[in-house]
């Protein structure tokens, strides 16, 4: 392993671990790494392995909720009404839209043609402004126990927009939840739980295709995923603590500055590299 490859592993782990859960778009930042540094595009496989690291961090941090959802799954199978069963049901409802859109994008090949720095910049600004509006004017009276199938479906539809780089899966789902009156901590908690089936399915699909096509999962890729896990665990703890006292405004400001800077460079004709 060269020094450059090791540095790339560290950078990718830091970016994925931090940005997956802060509402600033992990996919957008991962796309920008090769565009800005000139490194070879790490590819979707590496992105998905780092996604597994992030997913594991969610499961570990919210282990009580995860165990509750496992019990809730049994309750659903036995047709017993419980708070855990309703949470599982709402997560299932919220996952349907992104599965449908994701499969459609894969079938049409659209997912291979939207890894664009320009799209990242525009989405960072547009969805950052939407996050500000929802957080500034949304009520903070609802908890996860107040969730119904309509709220779950709306948040699920919002999650499907995150397939466009720069949107931020956590950001758009928290935006939808805040717009419907869920508190900041509750919005974040539900967003993270909702990420489990979506990220798990996406990672399994991509990694399965890679293995089927004989694409190797190298030690460097695995190391990136492991490092991502530890960084993501810290990022989740930071965000959940922060949202008890602070709004989403710092993230909104960051998104607008990032998007504006990227658009400025693009319009000025600066070559950001090739984003495949």
93: helix, strand or coil: helix
pTM for the full predicted model: 0.88
* CA dist 201 → 102, 259, 267 (Å): 10, 29, 37
Which structure tokens are listed for 58?
A: 């969610």
Q: What is the pLDDT along the chain (276 residues), one digit of tens a residue?
A: 677 778 888 888 888 788 888 999 876 776 677 767 777 766 666 777 788 888 999 999 999 999 999 999 999 999 898 999 999 999 999 999 999 998 898 888 777 667 778 888 899 999 999 999 999 999 999 999 999 999 999 999 999 999 998 899 999 999 999 999 999 999 999 999 999 998 888 778 777 777 777 776 777 778 888 898 999 999 999 999 999 999 999 999 999 998 998 888 888 876 664 444
What is the spatial distance between Cα 87 and Cα 105, in angstroms, rounded to a whole number? 28
Which structure tokens are listed for 31?
A: 């796309």
């Amino acid at each position: 392993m060269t020094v450059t490859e090791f540095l790339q592993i560290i950078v990718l782990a830091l970016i994925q671990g931090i940005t997956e859960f802060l509402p600033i778009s992990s996919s957008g930042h991962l796309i920008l790494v090769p565009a800005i540094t000139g490194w070879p595009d790490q590819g979707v496989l590496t992105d998905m392995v780092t996604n597994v690291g992030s997913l594991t961090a969610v499961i570990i941090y919210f282990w009580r909720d995860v165990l509750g959802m496992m019990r809730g799954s049994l309750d659903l199978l036995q047709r017993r009404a419980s708070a855990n069963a309703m949470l599982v049901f709402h997560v299932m409802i919220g996952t349907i839209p992104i599965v449908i859109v994701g499969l459609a994008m894969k079938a049409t090949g659209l997912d291979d043609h939207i890894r664009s720095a320009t799209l990242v910049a525009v989405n960072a600004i547009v969805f950052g402004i939407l996050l500000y509006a929802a957080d500034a004017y949304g009520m903070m009276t609802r908890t996860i126990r107040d969730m119904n199938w309509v709220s779950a479906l709306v948040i699920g539809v919002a999650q499907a927009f995150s397939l466009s780089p720069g949107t931020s899966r956590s950001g758009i789902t928290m935006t939808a939840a805040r717009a419907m009156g869920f508190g900041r901590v509750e919005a974040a908690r539900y967003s993270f739980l909702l990420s489990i089936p979506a990220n798990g399915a996406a990672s399994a699909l991509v990694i399965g295709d890679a293995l089927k096509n004989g694409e190797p999962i190298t030690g460097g890729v695995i190391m990136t995923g492991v490092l991502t896990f530890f960084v993501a665990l810290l990022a989740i703890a930071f965000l959940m603590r922060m949202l008890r006292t602070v709004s989403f405004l710092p993230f909104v400001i960051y998104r607008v500055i990032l998007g504006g800077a990227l658009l400025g460079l693009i319009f000025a004709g600066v070559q950001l590299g090739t984003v495949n």
